[in-house]
Structures are given as C-alpha cells and as structure tokens.
Structure 1
C-alpha cells in the first residue's frame, strides 16, 4: 500500500520535470544538502522520518518511489543508477547527524559514489554532472576541514584504530579518499565520447566537466601531499582532453596554477614558469587573492632561474605579503654570504615557516645556494682576481684568472665573521668550531654519532660496549648459511673491539699529512671549493676552465667583452637560451598549429635550415 507523502510527491514531481527537460543546473538546485536548509527541506525531512523511518522495508519503498523518475524501456529502466542515488539522497537527509562528522563524511562519500555511477550513463549521465560537482565540493570542504582540525574526530579514529591494528598498509586520509572519488568522476568526464575526441574537438556533453573535476581533485591531492597520484591525471589529459583554450578562464587559470605547482615540485622549472606565467596573465586584475596565490610560486620559480622580481611587481596589490620574504632572499643571493643564506632558510629561522608552509623551502635552499656561491666567487674575482693586462698584446697576455687559494681565504674570513655574532638581546654566541671530518664550508656542529673522531685518544673496549653493545654483542645472529644462532648475553661475536681495529677504520678523507691537521683542513676546503666551481662551470653559470696543479679559475676569450661578462654570464639569459627551444608544457593541451603540418595532426615544427640537398653526402 502506497504511503501518503504529499511533500515528497511534490519534490519528486519537480525532479521528474528537470530530468525530462535534461536541465542539470536546476536538478542540482533541487538536491541541496548543506546546512542550513530552508523550511521546505525541513518539512521534507520531517515527513521522511514519519512516513519512511529507517529500516529495510522503508528504504525499499523509497527506491520504488524513485524508480518512477526515469523513463522505462521494454527491458526495464534505462537509468538504474539514478533511482538508487535518489534513495540515498533521501536517506541521507533523514539519517544524517552532523554531531558525528566522521559518519556524515562516510554517508556523503557513499552518496557521491552513487552519483558518479549515475554520471557514467552514456545517454542521461550528463544531467547529474552539476550535482556531482556540487557534492564533490561539499565532500572536499568537509574532508579538508577535518584534516585541519583532526581533534574533532580523534576519539572516533582511536576507536577505529583499536579495531584495526593492521600496520602493514598505509592509512588513507579522508582527503585522499575524497580525491579518489572525485578522480572517478574526472575519468568519466574525460572518457565521454560526445563530440569530436582529441585536440581537434571542443568540449561537449560530460567533457565540459573535465577541468572542473580535475581542479577539485588536484586541490585535494595538494592538500594531502599525494602529488604522485596527479601524474596519471596529467598524462590522461594530454592524451584525451580538448585544448584548454576552449574552457572558461576560471577553469584555465586554476588548472594552470596547479599544473605549475606540480611541475615546480618536480624540478621542471621552465615549464612551471610558462604555466604559472600564463595563469597570472589570464587571471582577472580584480582577483587579487588568486593572483597572490600564483605569484607565491611564480616569483620563486623565476628566482631559481636567475630572474629576480622588480620593485614595481612587488608593489602591486597582489604582491602584498610577499615582499619581505623574497626581497631578503634576493639580497642574500646577491651578497654571496652562503652562511647567512643557510641561516635564513634554516628550519629554526622565522622566515622558514612561511616558505615551508608554501612547500618551497627545500627547493629554494637546494637550488639557490649555487647562485650564492657564484655571487661569492664573482665578488672575490672583482677584488682579488687578475682582470688582464690592457697594455699587453692580446696574443701574448695571459687570460683573466683567479687563484682558488684566495677563494679559500675569503671563505675562512666569511666563517670568522659569523663565528662571533650578536643576538638582539645583546648575548653573543659562537658558532660551532670547524672539524677535520665533514664539510669545511658548513659551520655546523659535528653529528653526535661521529663525535670523538678528531680526538687522538682511542676509546676503551668498555666504552665501546656501553655505546655499541647491541651491535657488538646481540642476542643472536645469522651465519653464512642463513641459520640463526643464539648468543650468550654479553659475548662479543667478532672478538675484542680494541685498538687493533684501528687499521680497518674507513676514513672517507685523506690521511693527515706531515704538515699537520690545519694543512689538511685547508686541502679539504680547497677540494670543496674546486668542486663548487666545477659545478658552476658544468651548469654554465660560469665560463672558463680550472687548473688543478696550480689551482686557478681562468677566463679565456675575455678580450672583446671583458672578464666579468665573459666569466660570469647572466644566469637568466643562460638558462633561457638553453630552454627556449622547447616550450612544451606537459599536461597543457594546446590547439595544433595552423597550416598543413597542424592539419595532419603532427603538431611539431620541423627545422629544415640545416638540411642538405638530395644526393649530397
């Protein structure tokens, strides 16, 4: 016997009209779930609780009511997933308890899953595309809110953790679960066969939602730090998506922003620069907060490639809050003070928190330090190098050069300047002393695990046992055949760890010479400086060659342009000249170029300037 539910009947009638009209936008307006709901929805919820209370029979009756919404064919309903989705929608309204946020999340995720299944229908699925996007945004908002405030569900997670003690599998966060559901919707939009497929086609049908779903999924993946999961998304977009230019500006800007961040995190700085610059250029001038987000990654991308932000750029409204961080960083790079640079980007620095929150701290520290050393070498060359004899003939005069010994002296002087520093409260402190083992250019305390290596005193066997007893005298061991043997407590497996082991110590550095440890430290410092200069030369950030016997950096061919422009070329121009020939950005689908080659689908420009005539060997 059918139950009387006038409000539900009216609601279902409105849904049926929107399905008949294939109006997805109005259908999404009907299917509201975010509180606070209007009085009409409150009355619907009350009627559902009275006429269809929780239970298998009531849910079955609700499903039968919802089956009348879709057209029927001879074989039955043509869209079976939609009535199930509508039944879940009504049960969600009826049963949801916002006090239990984790249960609310699970119910909402199940509702979105079913809506994605309904989206997969080749004929009717496009109607629920706006609803899928709406539910995905609500689920993402809830998941990211719980991710920022885990204490709201900590007690529930503890109960679930006690029930599930399997630590062999990685725990999937709520944000990652949401991204997995949204990715399924993205795949259904991308693989829709409506319209012309490939880069020649325009977005039609469900394909209009490709970048809407991709942007939301990328937002979730960046939130949970699972950027590797985005790699397949970009590959699929490159292979199957229509050109990005066919989509609205808001979708283009958002997608290029996330694409640029992804490329930046994978050290593809030139493609990232192109994507982020396009996102900034296409972003509306009044969208200050969006342009601010893009600049937060566009500026460091340019800095890494040797192009610093201008004062005019940093004075724009969207650059508010970025000036303090990046101006100081640029000053340190130009100054050439590698110790101050490391301190500025050290984990204990106040500025490091902002860079770490943006996810660019380690990238800036690793990529920009080589430029700091280039500035340091350039300043030492300006003050102490040989710039060439203008009176000598070009064929006979030696090229400009710099003795590397002067670089080591300047390095020690810079270290001495930081040895005694003054804190704001007036208390002076000394930076750690340099030691024989480890780097000679990094003034950091020796690792406690390697303490005592500089000492001439050998530890006693008892001291070794106290420190490494679990290694020297374990409870048991495996022999050569792989069989386990129990060991008596305290019995040494490899014998007495006395001074007779000294001959077998592995020393990664040269043995002490007769000139003493100070000479050895100077020789180690020379090796490090020489390695840094070799790296600069290999990357093209400096030009010239090194002599090893009489350590020097020489700059040949400096007669025409001068020593500084020749030996220390502009970093941005050097990198740009190397990268400009390939402006392809992975993940950015562009229209094929016009002309016969583009019409043939090649999409590549062939340079025939160096081709030989036919028959010429």
Structure 2
C-alpha cells in the first residue's frame, strides 16, 4: 500500500487549526486556484495513487477525514466538515481546468458542502473565511464564463437540449448567486453573541456584508435585481448597524444599494447612499470612486443637480466629463430633438450609457427637464413679465401664450429638417408629417424598420401559391371542424371562410396612424393639447409654478410681484425636489445606529432636573 506522508501532514495541520478555531489559517491551507505550489502537487499525486476515483476510495478517504472533528459538549460531531474536506481532496484530484463547465460544477458542489459546514452553531464560524474564498473563486469563474459563453457552448451542446434549455433559463452566474445567498442567510441568522438587530457583529454575523456584497455583485452581473429585494429587507430587519463593519464593506454595500435604488427610480435615497459611499471611499481608490461617480452623477442630474467643473476635473472623474457635460448642456439648451438625437441608438454616448445601464433612465427622466428649459427660454423671449409701474393690486400676472410655445416647437422641428434629400426632408415632402405617433414627442424611426413608410417598398405577390405555401396551414388547411363538431375535408387552395365580401384595401389597420386632416388648424390643435399636457405634468411635479387656462391657452404665474416672474414660475429643480424629499431621509436597506433619545426624568423634567414635591398639598385644598 502506497504511503501518503504529505497527505498525513496536511490532515494533521488541518486538525490543529480546527482545534484552535483558526479560520484564517484554515482558509490559507485549503487553496484551489492555480498555480499551486509544489507541496500541493505532491499531495495531489499521493491522492491519485492511494485514493483513485471510486466509491471505495472515497469511503476510505472519508474515514480519514472523520478524525478532524472534535466532539462537542452535547456529544454530537461536526459531521458536515469531514465531508467537505473529503470533497476538497476529490476536487484537487479530479479537477480538469480544460473542462470549465465540469470545473464549475465541482466547485459549486464543494461550496455547497462548505456552506452546510458553516451552518453549525458552534464550529461553523471556523469555515467562514473559507466560504468567502470559495465564493469569490466561484464568482470569478462564473462571470468569466458569462462574458465568454463560446468557451462552454460546445459542452452544452454535447450535454443535450434539455440541459441547454435549463442553462439558458438559469445562468451560471445566477446559480452562483443562489449558493452565495445561502451563506449570507446563515451569517444573518446566526444567534451567537449579543442578540438584537442593533448589536455589534460577532461570530458569523461578521460575514453578513461580505457575503451580501458578493451576492449583489453576481445579481447585478446577471441582471436579476428583483432577487436582491429580499436581501435588503432581511438586512433591514436583522442586521447590525452598517457603521460597525469595516469601511471597505460599507462602501461596497452602499454602492450596490444605491444602484439598486436608482434602478427602481428611488433617486433621492439612491443619492444619499451613493454620496455616502463616495465620501467614505479612500481617496487613492480612484477606480472605485470613478465607478461610484458613474451612478452618483446621473442620479443628481435626474433631480436637477448638475456636476460642477471642479468635480469633473478630479482624478477619479477621468472620462466622465466627456459623457455627462454634453448631456447637461443639452438639458439647459432646451432642444428636445437634439436631446433625443444625443441619446439615440446610433449615438456613441448612448452606447456608453447603455453599457452602464443608465440610458433608459436618462431618456425617460431627463426629457421633462429639457421641456422645462425650453418653456423657460420661450417665456424669457416672448412672455409677459408684468408691468413694474402698475400698482400691486392691479394688472395681470406674468403669463405666456401657449401659441408661442407651439410656434417655437414647429421652429425646432423645421430646424432639425434642414438637410433635404431628393426634394424630401427625412424621406417626407416639405410640410408633410408621417402618421406614426405624436408630432411633438416624435421619436426617430427604428433602424430595423427603415423604409416601411415608402410606398415604393410595398409590393404585392402576383402568385398566390407563394402565400399559400407560407400560410397555407392557416388560410387553407386540409380540413376543419364544422358547427356540429364533424371533420370536413377541404380541397387544398380553397379558403375555409370563402371569398371575402368586402374590399378591405381602404380600411386602415395601423393603430398608430393619425387621421387625415383637412387643414393645418386641426394638426395645431393636437399639438396644442400635447403642449398643455407637458406643462400640466411640469406643474404637477412642482418643476413649474402657476396655472393653465384652456379657453385662451396660456401659462400664468401669480404671486410674482415680490420675487419676480422667473424665480416664481421656474423654481430651482434641485431645491424643489430636496425640499419635498428631505422630510423622509430613510434609505431602505441601510441599517443605521439608533438615534439617542431622552428617556425618563430627563425627558420630562428637561436636563435631569429634580423637583421636590414633599410640601405640595392635594389638589382642591386651600
């Protein structure tokens, strides 16, 4: 029988580490990432020679690992740990790094068993560093395969169609996140140490945010942000305050929390979380601070707070000025068509925003700010600002006729249609508008559907046989069931419902087509309705102040005598939103230290003063 001196020495060292409850050194011993040192190569050779793959060898190896576990006071043993060590040896012996999918499956099984070992109430904390180490390795492998799926595509095809369908439904990254979430739950629900949600972290609870940050990283990678909602709810209910944990864990957690809130349109709490992450991040961690600013800046832009040039010139803001500065200028300029063009699919800036996952948010949330700037500029140029010579009780308030907004909108549309092509403007004759959607909030056509409006591209097949060949099972099937439920044969090529009695060529089936207008006044009326709707939205959100009149369409600004028309009718966007949101500064998912409150006599008497009532008489006695 072959001797295993290296394996014997390795098992002896593991036993001492477990007995001393030294989890840090235990994690240092259980290495799996190549390149491994020579001592590990010798141990792997001994395993392959003495314990080759097979059930008998695994049983014998399991028996050797049983001696690592000390007996507890209750007489029970830590049964999950010997199985984990045996799987570790099996992994080292059988792993083939050329087969990445097999390596992933073996590593996931090893991590699962390590998480089971973590669940022990007394000894589980010993493997906490090992769980974190294996989770990081599994996450690194899963995200690497997710970025390059061609590396395992041939293996998935060999495994069969059903496995491939399951793989497409639940990716490797999501599977890894599910395993890490189990470790997070065991850390969060640990009952060792001081109980209560506001106690300092002890035992396995020290790993709450380590596992949470890794799980959130995987969920963001695979786009499963909904699965993070339960994590934040559990942390709010059971986690110790975030301030008790190291700065690196706080910054990472607040960064992912801010991104999650931003993706759910909770911009003010997202801004608080991201700002705190940026403030606590080390100044020399430029890449991390750059990543935080990538989401902190658009979060502020949505609320009307633009980045200063001093911020964009900082070392950690390198490359952000060329992305956000043009966007802010377009918002201030008020040209909604130029804004849409800047964030169109073919724009380089839009591609950068899309990679960061903020493109749709900027499109949907910033356009209303563009319209506010547009209305403000039209009011400055063509609005009535009030008569300073008039008495306070007389004279109309400042106002703007919406007809001027309509004319300015038409001017913007003509300004962006100044490049004729074969006598047409953007494929349309001068003065002509296509019938898809609104003229005010008109979006450019999708490139995949370019040319569908051109009548020359609409052709009709002369051979009905081609149509029947393609849609024959629907238009003219081999048979059908009549009203009595009996099967009736049908000659191929005959329409089951017979020839149509009506000519549908003159009917319009396009739900987005607009009606045919006799004059331009009808079109202007629809445009006026849309402008009124936009202004009503701005007034509802508090981004503009005043009222609208419909019969004689105009926007009026009452109460502008003291502050002026512009500050009254167009208040600062950030100050407006901040005044509304600051009343509730609670950030979901962020457990803070409890605020000190006055209790007892100090709360009632003020400052702990003592009142002597020994000489007081009963109420009602003289």
Same fold (TM over 0.5): yes
Alignment partner of 2:426 out of 393, 416, 431: 431
**CA distance change for structure 1 residues 277 and 478 in 2, over 3 Å: closer, same or farther?**
farther
Counterpart CA distance in 1 for 2:560 and 2:486 is 69
Q: Any conservation in 2 of the 1:175–1:224 contact (CA below 8 Å)? A: yes
**CA distance change for structure 1 residues 499 and 407 in 2, over 3 Å: closer, same or farther?**
farther
Alignment partner of 2:581 out of 579, 582, 596: 579
TM-score (normalised: structure 1) = 0.88
Alignment partner of 1:309 out of 302, 307, 310: 307
Partner in structure 1 of residue 590 of structure 2: 588
Q: Any conservation in 2 of the 1:472–1:494 contact (CA below 8 Å)? A: no
Say whether 1:204 aligns with 2:199.
no
**CA distance change for structure 1 residues 77 and 450 in 2, over 3 Å: closer, same or farther?**
same
Partner in structure 1 of residue 603 of structure 2: none
Partner in structure 2 of residue 254 of structure 1: 252
Partner in structure 2 of residue 233 of structure 1: 231
Partner in structure 1 of residue 132 of structure 2: 133
Partner in structure 1 of residue 495 of structure 2: 491
Counterpart CA distance in 2 for 1:409 and 1:111 is 69
**CA distance change for structure 1 residues 165 and 44 in 2, over 3 Å: closer, same or farther?**
closer
Counterpart CA distance in 2 for 1:482 and 1:295 is 67
**CA distance change for structure 1 residues 487 and 359 in 2, over 3 Å: closer, same or farther?**
farther
Segments of 5+ residues of structure 1 without an aligned counterpart are 599-617
User: Residue 532 of structure 1 aligns to a residue in which SS?
Assistant: helix
Counterpart CA distance in 1 for 2:161 and 2:413 is 53
1:398-409 correspondence runs (5 A): 398-409=396-407
Counterpart CA distance in 1 for 2:67 and 2:262 is 51
Shift of 1:158: 1.7
Segments of 5+ residues of structure 2 without an aligned counterpart are 601-622
Counterpart CA distance in 2 for 1:479 and 1:594 is 80
**CA distance change for structure 1 residues 454 and 444 in 2, over 3 Å: closer, same or farther?**
farther
Alignment partner of 1:541 out of 540, 543, 547: 543
TM-score (normalised: structure 2) = 0.87
**CA distance change for structure 1 residues 208 and 74 in 2, over 3 Å: closer, same or farther?**
closer
1:123-522 correspondence runs (5 A): 123-162=122-161, 164=163, 171-421=169-419, 430-433=425-428, 434-441=433-440, 442=442, 444-445=444-445, 473=475, 475=477, 489=493, 491=495, 493=497, 496=500, 498-499=502-503, 516-522=518-524
Counterpart CA distance in 2 for 1:428 and 1:15 is 83
Report how many aligned residue pairs link the two structures. 588
User: Residue 68 of structure 1 aligns to a residue in which SS?
Assistant: helix
Counterpart CA distance in 2 for 1:206 and 1:288 is 31
Deviations 1:145-202 (A, max 9, x none): 11111111110112224354767x9621110010000000000000000122333211
Counterpart CA distance in 1 for 2:292 and 2:597 is 34
Partner in structure 2 of residue 98 of structure 1: 97
Partner in structure 2 of residue 120 of structure 1: 119
Q: CA RMSD in A?
A: 3.4
Counterpart CA distance in 1 for 2:187 and 2:562 is 60
**CA distance change for structure 1 residues 461 and 162 in 2, over 3 Å: closer, same or farther?**
closer
Counterpart CA distance in 2 for 1:567 and 1:213 is 50
Q: Which of 55-64 and 248-257 deviates more?
A: 55-64
**CA distance change for structure 1 residues 329 and 481 in 2, over 3 Å: closer, same or farther?**
farther
Q: Which of 198-207 and 296-305 deviates more?
A: 198-207
User: Residue 419 of structure 1 aligns to a residue in which SS?
Assistant: coil
